Each structure stands twice: as C-alpha cells, then as structure tokens.
Amino acid sequence: QKEVEQNSGPLSVPEGAIASLNCTYSDRGSQSFFWYRQYSGKSPELIMFIYSNGDKEDGRFTAQLNKASQYVSLLIRDSQPSDSATYLCAGGTSYGKLTFGQGTILTVHP
Amino acid sequence: NAGVTQTPKFRILKIGQSMTLQCAQDMNHNYMYWYRQDPGMGLKLIYYSVGAGITDKGEVPNGYNVSRSTTEDFPLRLELAAPSQTSVYFCASRAAGLGVEAFFGQGTRLTVV
C-alpha cells in the first residue's frame, strides 16, 4: 500500500523557534508533495507544494524534498501561536489524487 | 467567488438510512474528489472524477457511490449508512497540471447512530 508517514507528534515549540515537520513516502510515482495546515474543525488549506529536489522557500516556510531518500520536510521559522494547527503532508499522484499522512499536531506556546 | 461548496454541514443518520452529500464548485475545474477524515487521522480518498461522466474509485470506496453529470457538481451517495461511515467528508477540486493546488470545501460532519 502506498503510504505517507509523518513524524510522530504532537510537537510543541516556543514562540519564535523553528518548527520542523517531517514526512516519508513509499510511492516513487508521487511527483509532487503538499503541506496543508488544518485548524480544528476546519478544512485543510495549502501552505506549500514542492516537486523538485531541494528547498523551496515562501516567507517563514521552507519545504525540502529529497526524492532519493523519499523524504519531505517543512520548516517554520519564527513560529507564532497562530501556527498552532495540524499539519498534513500529502503526496500527489495521477489525476491529482492526494495520499495524506496522519498529520502532526503543532503547538506554539508563548 | 464561492469556490467549493458542500451541503449539509452537519447530519445525523440512523443505521440503514441513505443520504447524498452535495458538492459544487464554480472554478470550472475538471478534477474533483471526495475524501473522508476520521478523528486524529489524515484524509483518505473515496472517489474522484476527471471530468463530467468520468469517475473512479479511490482508496476507500465501499459503501459509497458518486456521479458527475456536470463539471460543477459531484454528489456523494451513502447507501445503507453504517457507524463506520461516521466521519468528516471533504470535497475538493483542482485544475489539471503538476503541483496545482486542490481547493477544499468546508466539510460535512456525518454521524451514524
């Protein structure tokens, strides 16, 4: 079964720190990877996507992809209490189908 | 711009009842999806569609049916509801292409008792 595994949580970091979220995938056919943020009781919202090896930065967020190691990560710099949410890693396959990990709960405490 | 609209937002069903979850998008996206999310878990794909008249099964299709008669609408039918179908259901749509964002509806919280 094609799976996406996220590092076990929950993760708690102090305000201003770097939060590191990790994800591994088993399907080498996955071409793109997505990080979604989900607040409690809400729908997922896209933070970033990446499909090339290396780093991709957008503001306080950096996504990293290593296809050889089948590893995806998300770094959140200068973490804020408003970043507290569940973060979902997803691999994209044919026809835009997404395979989600189980999510990592992040809490940023003041 | 409404995006992806799901109705209803909440529903309680009795075991054995049937219902249809509605999903509509106004972005002219060809690709549409139904996912379910159980408590503390990620989303799992139930069914998807790549255009009007074309649907296919995802990872967890048992107990569900879909149809896609128009580009805009993608209803999900639950027949003979079971407690195992208690979940939050999300509809999503996206355009074709690599690394394209999928837009999610607000979800339908379904409880089967």
**How confident is the model over B2-27, as pLDDT tens digits?**
799 999 999 999 999 999 999 999 99
Residues from chain A contacting residue B55 (CB–CB below 8 Å) = none
Contact call for residues B68 and B52 (beta carbons, < 8 A):
yes
Q: pLDDT below 70 — which residues of chain A?
A: 1-2
Contact call for residues A6 and A101 (beta carbons, < 8 A):
yes
Q: Tell me how close the Cα of A16 comes to any Cα of chain B, in angstroms.
A: 27
Contact call for residues A48 and A56 (beta carbons, < 8 A):
yes
Contact call for residues A76 and A83 (beta carbons, < 8 A):
yes
Half-sphere exposure (CA, 13 Å, Cβ side) for B35?
25
Q: Is the pLDDT of residue B99 over 80?
A: no
Distance of CA A61 to the CA centre of its chain: 10
At residue A91, what is the residue type? G
Q: Tell me how close the Cα of B106 comes to any Cα of chain A, in angstroms.
A: 5
Residue A51 has its nearest CB partner, among B42, B43, B99, at B99
Name the CA dihedral angle for A21, B60, A92, A101, rounded to a multiple of 10 degrees. 10
Confidence of residue B37 (pLDDT cuts 50, 70, 90): very high
Minimal-distance CA residue of chain B relative to A32: B99
Give the A:B interface size as CB pairs under 8 Å.
62
Contact B40 A103 (CB under 8 A): yes
Q: Tell me how close the Cα of A25 comes to any Cα of chain B, in angstroms.
A: 14
Q: Say what the pLDDT of residue A2 is.
A: 64
* Distance in angstroms (rounded) separating the CA atoms of residues A60 and A68: 26
The label of the residue with tokens 């990592």 reads A104
Contact A44 B43 (CB under 8 A): yes
Contact call for residues A62 and A56 (beta carbons, < 8 A):
yes
Question: What one-character DSSP code corresponds to residue A18?
Answer: P
**Is residue A71 helix, strand or coil?**
strand
Contact call for residues A19 and A80 (beta carbons, < 8 A):
no
Q: Is the pLDDT of residue B91 over 70?
A: yes
Residues from chain B contacting residue A101 (CB–CB below 8 Å) = 42
Contact A100 B105 (CB under 8 A): no
* Distance in angstroms (rounded) separating the CA atoms of residues A65 and A57: 12
Length of chain B: 113
Kindly report, residue by residue over A1-16, the tens digit of the pLDDT: 668 999 878 999 999 9
* Distance in angstroms (rounded) separating the CA atoms of residues A77 and B26: 35
Contact B40 A102 (CB under 8 A): yes
In degrees, to the nearest 5, what angle opens at C-alpha A21 toward C-alphas A45 and A11?
Answer: 100
* Distance in angstroms (rounded) separating the CA atoms of residues A65 and A31: 11
